[in-house]
Amino acid sequence: MSTEGFPIEGLRGSPLSTKTLTDMGSRCRRMPENELLCRQVLERLQFLHDSVAPLDVEDQPKVKYTGVVVRFVKLMRRKPLLQRLASSETLVMTIHELQLKLSDVGQAMGLADKPEMTKWEAQWDADRAEQYGKLTKLVTGASERMLVNEFRGDKKVKEALMNLHSGINCKGQSPEMVELKETTFNRVSTYLNQTGLRMFEWFIPIDDVEYEDEAIGDRGTFGDVSRGTWLHDGKRTEVVVKRLFPETSSHSDDAFLSQLTLWGGLPDNEHILKLYGGSHVSNPQFYVCENAHYGNLADFLDDGEHSVRFWRLFKQVALGLKFLHDRNTVHGGLKCNNILVGANYTAKLADFGFSTVRTLSAGLSGNADRANARSVRWKPKEVLEETGMDEPRFKSDVYSLAMCMIEAKTHEAPFGMDDDAEVMDMIMRGERHPCPDDMSETSTEWAFISRLCDPDIEKRPSLDEVLKEISVFADAEEKQHP
C-alpha cells in the first residue's frame, strides 16, 4: 500500500484504510485456527487498496471494498475458544462471501486475473483443513475449566453451549468437525452439570446474524428494529432483527423465552409475520423475522397509490387477530408499527403477546419511556386500569384495531397532537376518539370504526362480527379498485 488511506465509514471514528489494514495483521493471529483463511482476505485487501483509494466514495467498487473491510474487522473481534468452535462454519461461509465480493472489486478494476487475486481459491481447501486441525489441537488440549473460564458469568457459558449445539447441526461441515463439536459439547455440559440444558429449534446464534447499526421506524416500547441478514444452511436471507433495550434484556429472560416459545410454536399463517428464531441468552436478546419489504401499514397506506387498499388490508389484520385469538393469544400491543405489509400486499402481525416484556421495559429502560407513554393512545380503558385480570381480553384488541384504522386515516398517532397525559385522562374518562377530518360522522365507515373503539368493552363487537362487517367494505373496495 503506497497511497494515502481513505476513511472507513462504518467503523468507529472512521479510521484511515491504511491504518485499519495494518492493524488487521495482528488481529489475524487472535484466532490461530483461522489465520490462513483471514490472511488470504487481508492480502487481497492490501493488493486492491491502491487501485480503490483514488475512486470517489460513491463508486461501487469502493463501496463494496469498504463494506468488506467493515465486515472483516467485525469478524475478527476477540472471542473465546468455545465460541470460535461453535461458529467455525459461520466464519468460513462469511469469509467465502467476502472473498467473492473482493473478486467483484478485482473484476471491476481489471485485476481479476492477477495471481494476487486468484491464489486464494487454490489454497481454500488446504486452509479449511488447517482450520480443523488447529481447532482440534486447541480444543482437545484445553481442559473444561480453561474453556469455561474464558467467559464472564454463567449466562455467557450457557449461550456458548447453545451456540455450540446449534453449530452441530450446521450443514456443509465435515463429519470430523461435527464429532469435535459433539464431543466438546458433552465434555463441557458434563463438567457444568448442564447435561439437561433445554434446547430450542428456533434458537439462532448471534454470530449467524448481521444487522445494520441504524434502526428503522420509530423507537419501540421494548427494543429497536434493524434490517439485516441471517446465515442459515449456507444461505444468507434478508431479515428484520429486533433487539431488546439492554436494561430490559438483562431482566426479561423468562418472559422473552416464553414469548419466543409461543411465537415459534405457532403454525405458519399468511397474516402472522414469520419468526425465524432468536436468542433469549444473548445480550441484548433478539429475534429474527421475515423481511416485509413494504414496511409498516401506516407508511404503506400513506402512499396515495396504496390508500385504495385500506379495507382489504384491515380485513387481513382482523384475520391475523382471529388466528391469534383462536389460539387463546391476545396481541396486546397492536398499532400500525407492528402491522407489516409483505409480498402481494399481505398484512402481517408482529410483536404479539409481549405485554410482560413491555411492562418490564417501561419500568427499567429510559430508552422506552417516550414510546411507552405514547402507546396509551392505542389502548382501551380496561387495559390502562391494570386490574390484574388474568383472563385474555380479546375485545381489547378490537379497540386497538380501530385505533390503527384511525392512525392510518389521519396519518398520525391517535389523538393527534394532544399531550400523552391528556390522552390518558380522556381514555380513563371514557371519552371517544373524534371523527377524523376526512371522514363523515354520519358515514357507515365511521359508525363501524366508532363501535370498535367504544369505551365500554361490552358494547364492542366480537372479532367474528368485525370480520363479517369489514368484509362488506373490503368487497366494495375490491370492486371499485380491482
DSSP string for 200-254: -TTB--GGGEEE-SS--SS--SSEEEEEEEEEETTEEEEEEEEEE-HHHHTT-HH
**Which residues, in sequence order, are CB contacts of 414 under 8 Å at separation 6+?**
377, 378, 403, 406, 407, 423, 433
The three-point CA angle 222-224-226 to 5° equals 150
**Structure confidence by residue, pLDDT tens digits, 376-390:** 999 999 988 865 555
Q: With a cut of 90, say whether residue 398 has pLDDT above it.
A: yes
Q: What is the pLDDT of residue 461?
A: 98
- Mean pLDDT score, 86-91: 95
The Cα–Cα gap between 475 and 480 comes to: 9
Residue 356 has pLDDT above 50, yes or no: no
Q: Which of 141-145, 368-372, 377-381, 463-467 has the lowest mean pLDDT?
A: 368-372
Q: Is the pLDDT confidence value at 366 over 60? A: no
Query: Mean pLDDT over residues 247-271, rounded?
Result: 79
Q: Report the C-alpha gap between 102 and 40 in whole angstroms.
A: 11
Structure confidence by residue, pLDDT tens digits, 136-149: 999 999 999 999 99
Which of 27-36, 127-136, 300-309, 386-395 is the least confident region?
386-395
The pLDDT, as a whole number, for residue 150 is 95
Contacts of 13 (CB under 8 A, 6+ apart): none
Say yes or no to pLDDT of 329 above 50. yes
CA nearest neighbour of 66 among 19, 13, 105, 22:
105
Domains of the chain: 17-153 (no CATH), 206-290 (3.30.200.20), 297-480 (1.10.510.10)
Identify any residues that bridge with 277 across adjacent strands, giving them in sequence order. Answer: 288
Q: Please tell me the predicted confidence (pLDDT) of residue 254.
A: 79
Tell me how far apart the alpha carbons of residues 83 and 296 are, in angstroms, rounded to a whole number: 36
Contact yes or no for 348/271 (Cβ under 8 A): yes
- On the CB side of 427, how many CA atoms lie within 13 Å of its CA? 26
Rounded CA-CA distance 408/403 in Å is: 9
pTM of the full predicted structure?
0.84
Distance, in Å, from the CA atom of 87 to the CA atom of 136, rounded to the nearest integer, reads: 14
